[in-house]
Amino acid sequence: MPPNALLFTYDAVLMYTNINTDHCLQILSTHLQKKEIRRKFNYDSTTLITALEIVLRGNIMKFGSMYAEQIKGIAMGLCPAPPIACLYVSLTQEALTVTKYSNKLVFHV
């Protein structure tokens, strides 16, 4: 890599528990309410956003005899966690990184 190159990396394990729930819901809601996205995938955005809110805010786990509510991030054991996290990171990082450095990117996956 050239000496003036910037390297962007993501930690997939830490990503789940460090996602700000409110910001995640805001970003996903905005994206899922876009007419072109709703038309392309044919879904009810209100129902989907409500389901996402239930998943992100209603996670209660049991450890032995103790119950705990996850109040930050996305629980890694939930089936929708990987796609939610990936979509959130994709939407936020595209806006922050790719747009800012698009004319300088050598390689982007």
Residues 6+ apart with CB under 8 A from 55: 78, 80, 84
pLDDT at 50: 96
Q: What is the pTM of this model?
A: 0.72
Over the stretch 5-52, which tens digit does the pLDDT of each residue have? 777 676 666 777 788 889 999 999 999 999 999 999 999 999 999 999
**Is the model more confident about 100 or about 43?**
43
pLDDT at 24: 92
Burial of 84 (0-12, 13-18, 19+ CB in 10 A): buried
Q: Where are the domains of the chain?
A: 13-104
Over the stretch 61-88, which tens digit does the pLDDT of each residue have? 888 999 988 888 887 778 888 888 888 8
- CA dist 50 and 55 (Å) reads 9
pLDDT at 82: 84
